[in-house]
Chain A
Amino acid sequence: MFLLLPFDSLIVNLLGISLTVLFTLLLVFIIVPAIFGVSFGIRKLYMKSLLKIFAWATLRMERGAKEKNHQLYKPYTNGIIAKDPTSLEEEIKEIRRSGSSKALDNTPEFELSDIFYFCRKGMETIMDDEVTKRFSAEELESWNLLSRTNYNFQYISLRLTVLWGLGVLIRYCFLLPLRIALAFTGISLLVVGTTVVGYLPNGRFKEFMSKHVHLMCYRICVRALTAIITYHDRPRNGGICVANHTSPIDVIILASDGYYAMVGQVHGGLMGVIQRAMVKACPHVWFERSEVKDRHLVAKRLTEHVQDKSKLPILIFPEGTCINNTSVMMFKKGSFEIGATVYPVAIKYDPQFGDAFWNSSKYGMVTYLLRMMTSWAIVCSVWYLPPMTREADEDAVQFANRVKSAIARQGGLVDLLWDGGLKREKVKDTFKEEQQKLYSKMIVGNHKDRSRS
């Protein structure tokens, strides 16, 4: 027992010293730059070296697979079947022309062969449709040393396994505790900071302090996730800011570069504490659960906020649900009816370093955050687009679609008209009738042409 004592105090001393060193490093390299909004470039270096390692890893796997004569599963981002981009009308005309032996000027109303077009289209959607794949994580073309994205687990060589093991060690034992410590610091600073600012008298100083407290804490959170963000163009503040939605992290990314008022539902627990603290420093728009259902109330409160020039621009995600960042789905028209200027923002994540998509049916919030903190990094690009206003002859839905196309084009995402709600519900009957109307128009159209001549 006595023999252990000298070693004991030595170990305690070592622990104390290493903790102090760690803390100082943390402060100097991470927290201080966060306060002033500068960067040492450590994260960019990290990203470059990771890319090189990933390229090497994929080469190894391909070589290993070739040696064993197996086939590697390679996901195709453009879908698994070859599709013909012809329209309903053209195809049916083609089918009728080739199949029918009757004279062409005797266009029939309906042919047995019409069925082939719909049959094939239907089968194509069963093999590969545009919507189902948007609600699961995007598939990568090269492996990024995370077992969660690996499709070819058994074709790994020894060197690769060692590298992977090293990666696990680094991520779980070094990066994870660091990130948790930072996140903790960031959140507590936010709560404490905004509460303190709330006690100041209203005026320019309070606004100044509030803005900087918010920005500082969001920047610390950004570093807590090791998010490497590239901003394109400058943020233009005002009105309503809309963006495509991939995960709750979107909020942190946008708010660390601009000062926004948040819109959302009041939560309980930790989120509730944060929300109540934030609202003391500056007016955010939090809705009670019961108020959320009342669309008029929501619209009224948002309009009031937007029209008050002294208030901050609001941040809204019109898709209503998290999509996997390969496409943009239907924007809900609510925020576009208010009539304010809309400032679109496009966010595109690079899934190579860590997939930010929150599959809420698969993972809860805590599991999701843990997955985020044990990925390599979150790399994304943010584009600030020029402001758009609703034109005189447009209704809210058309305006929403116009904004959506602009965001999709900028971010390189697929522009879909489908509703994000399809994640959980079935298609509404109105859509089915649209397709049938198109077909019937085609049949009746033949008659009209004949009678006019």
Chain B
Amino acid sequence: MGSRSSHAAVIPDGDSIRRETGFSQASLLRLHHRFRALDRNKKGYLSRMDLQQIGALAVNPLGDRIIESFFPDGSQRVDFPGFVRVLAHFRPVEDEDTETQDPKKPEPLNSRRNKLHYAFQLYDLDRDGKISRHEMLQVTEEQLENIADRTVQEADEDGDGAVSFVEFTKSLEKMDVEQKMSIRILK
């Protein structure tokens, strides 16, 4: 990689980011290193495609929604402060955060309330402040499609994408059908 040093002076607005997110200088340095590793074309910002290149994120069922959370208000780029602001939600809560709670300062990004708000946002796609039934359906829809696909796939032997009677019989060969599908009438 041959990266040049990324000490505090190189990170723009390093001090204000530190105050806003609560990350230590060492952590910020690492995250900046990571930001530059993800930014393959050295643009100075990340696009959706840069995040989609991460293999393990692409297989995550919530992958797309997580990527969206980095681009609020329909923007196409996320710079380093924006990147760190989202990651700050996942900073572990330390005792010092709750003790020095100055009522005038805004809540730290990793407070319980802000963590919950982040998760809420993943459900609330249209950002109207409510999780509608439609949005809930969308989350479960993908799961249901996969359940259906998998069930058919497991029983399907000849690969025609459908379960014939023979295939149905074979997949239930261990089940005690005679007992489960019988009703005894009392004398």
Interface of A is mostly: helix
B143 in contact with A434 (CB, 8 Å): no
- Report if A70-B143 is in contact (Cβ < 8 Å); known contacts: A126-B57, A427-B58: no
A80 in contact with B150 (CB, 8 Å): no
Contact A434 B59 (CB under 8 A): yes
The verdict on A13 contacting chain B, using a C-beta distance below 8 Å, is: no
| A440 with B147: CB separation less than 8 A | yes
Cβ contacts under 8 Å, A439 to chain B: 61, 143, 146
In chain A, what residue has the closest Cβ to B24?
A: A71
Nearest-Cβ distance from residue B35 to partner chain A, whole angstroms:
10
Q: Judging by beta carbons under 8 Å apart, are A123 and B34 in contact?
A: no
> Inside 8 A of A434's CB, which chain B residues have their CB?
59
Residues of B within 8 A of A126 (CB): 38, 51, 54, 57, 66, 87
Q: Which of B4, B38, B140, B146 contacts A437 (CB under 8 A)? A: B146
Binary contact readout B92-127 vs A (1 if CB under 8 angstroms, 0 otherwise) = 000000000000000000000000001100110000
The interface-forming segment of B14-22, B25-33, B158-166 is B25-33
Alpha-carbon distance between A129 and B52 when the two chains are bound, in angstroms:
12
The answer to whether B56 touches A444, judged by C-beta atoms less than 8 angstroms apart, is no
Residues in B70-100 with C-beta less than 8 Å from chain A: 87, 90
CA distance A80 to B1 in the complex (A): 17
CB-CB under 8 A for A132 and B37, given A126-B87, A137-B1, A436-B142: yes
> B143 to A129, Cβ gap below 8 A?
no
Interface of B is mostly: helix
Closest-CB distance, B18 to chain A (whole angstroms):
13
A274 contacts the other chain (CB 8 A): no
Collect the chain B residues with CB atoms within 8 Å of residue A427's CB: 55, 58-59
Do B58 and A150 touch across chains, with their CB atoms under 8 A apart?
Answer: no
Chain B CB within 8 A of A435 CB: yes
- Inter-subunit contact A125/B54 (CB<8 Å): yes
Closest to B153 in A: A437
A172 at the interface (CB under 8 A from B): no
Say whether A148 contacts B90, CB under 8 Å.
no
A436–B143 touching, CB < 8 Å:
yes
Residues of A61-117 contacting chain B, CB below 8 A: 70-71, 73, 80, 110, 112, 115-116
A136 touches B37 (CB 8 A): yes
Q: Given known contacts A123-B90, A433-B146, A440-B147, what 20 new A-B pairs fall within 8 Å (CB)?
A: A73-B29, A115-B62, A115-B119, A119-B122, A121-B60, A122-B57, A127-B31, A129-B55, A151-B3, A359-B1, A418-B55, A422-B55, A426-B58, A432-B59, A432-B63, A437-B146, A437-B150, A439-B61, A440-B144, A443-B143
B interface residue numbers (CB < 8 A to A): 1-7, 25-26, 29-31, 33-34, 37-38, 51-63, 66, 87, 90, 118-119, 122-123, 139-140, 142-144, 146-147, 149-151
